[in-house]
Amino acid sequence: MSLSWVRSFCLQLPGATEELKWEHLAFCIGGKIFAIQVLEPDTTALSFKCTPEAFAELTERPFIIQAPYCARGQWVALERPSALPRHELEPLLRQAYELILRKLPKKKQAEFTSLMP
């Protein structure tokens, strides 16, 4: 998983934007973050929101931990870019996007769902 691949994938989701927050690249929908990509070498490479079930399953795997400061909200962090293969990461990032999208006000949700193919 490369920074350019994560960025490209996240930004192709309808209405997704990127912002620089805490010296990291945050991917957002409606101003709410669904994934955070670390730009400089750090203890983690990528963090994202997930379901409680996925959170429990993923944190049992090597190099995937509870995201610092966000674990209570069911966020995981990859300690290495290679912790998850691309074919597993894609649906998890899409799910993170959808989880945050569902928390937006209905009017905002409608704006973004109208952009979906």
Domain ranges of the chain: 3-112
pLDDT at 63: 94
Laid out side by side, the sheet with 75-78 consists of 16-21, 24-29, 32-38, 46-49, 75-78, 64-66
Which two three-digit tokens encode residue 98? 């959808």
CATH placement of domain 3-112: 3.90.1150.30
pLDDT at 117: 59
pLDDT at 107: 82
Cβ atoms 67, 96 nearer than 8 A: no
Residue 1 has pLDDT above 90, yes or no: no
Q: What is the DSSP letter of 67?
A: P
pLDDT at 115: 65
pLDDT by residue (tens digit) across 7-38?
A: 999 999 988 999 998 888 999 999 999 999 98
pLDDT by residue (tens digit) across 41-98?
A: 677 789 999 999 999 999 999 999 999 887 778 999 999 888 999 999 999 999 999 9
Neighbours of 15 (CB within 10 A): 18
β 32-38/24-29 pair status: antiparallel
pLDDT at 23: 83
Cα–Cα–Cα angle for 15, 20, 25, nearest 5°? 75
pLDDT at 81: 85
β 46-49/16-21 pair status: unpaired
Buried b (16+ CB within 10 A) or exposed e, 61-85: eeebbbbeebeeebbbbbeebebbe
Residue 108 has pLDDT above 90, yes or no: no
pLDDT at 90: 94
Element (H, E) at 95: helix 86-103
